[in-house]
Amino acid sequence: MKKQFGETVEGYNIPVLNEREIRAAAGILFLFTFLSLLLILLKGNFILIKYVITAFMLDFIIRVFINPKYAPTLIIGRLIVSRQNPEYVGAAQKKFAWIIGVILSAAMFSLMVVVNSYSIITGLICLVCLLFLFFESAFGICLGCLFYNMVYKEKAQHCPGEICEVKNKHDIQKTSFLQILIVLGMVGLIIMIGVSFNDFFSIKPHDLFGK
């Protein structure tokens, strides 16, 4: 008998997972990956990234090949959001996205931990991982899940925010031309401030309580 991936929840005809804890876990991984990248860029220190890559790969291997409920970051995510109502999403597309994560992390582990090297390849993979994690944690958009529909004939069900379903936007979701102008105006204002006050902003701050 094939082992079920995901949880059985009343009212859902397919196995599902809790999107809230998945987003929390993505945020945790994004934070440590981003900090690791900063250490590399600012100090040339690759120690933290090797630990992060190893933990990242093991976590995703557990998610895909054992059971998501035993993945450490998902457990931490569950603890963090345990007081929030769960948001159920289809498990199939999440598994597909996590398989991509296993492949990317395994490549990084091989190149940076085993071979102990870095190159444009590891840099690009790291940026892709950060992009995936950021979209998941910040916007609730699973980029890996979007590829699921390109590979499988059976469309993904119960996507975050029900984006898989074709439907009309509510009024509160619509963006007016005025709102677009406000965003563009803010961008223009920041550019003007940068041009006008760059020298002032470039002055190094002093210690407020220093002697």
Interval 65-81 mean pLDDT: 95
* pLDDT 10s digits, 74-111: 999 999 999 999 999 999 999 999 999 999 999 999 99
The answer on pLDDT for 162 being more than 70 is no
The answer on pLDDT for 42 being more than 70 is yes
The answer on pLDDT for 151 being more than 90 is no
Alpha carbon separation from 49 to 55, 111, 136 (Å, rounded): 10, 12, 20
When the pLDDT of each residue in the chain is averaged and rounded to a whole number, the result is: 91
Residues 6+ apart with CB under 8 A from 125: 104, 107, 108
The answer on pLDDT for 193 being more than 70 is yes
Interval 146-151 mean pLDDT: 82
The predicted structure's pLDDT at residue 167: 67
Interval 175-180 mean pLDDT: 94
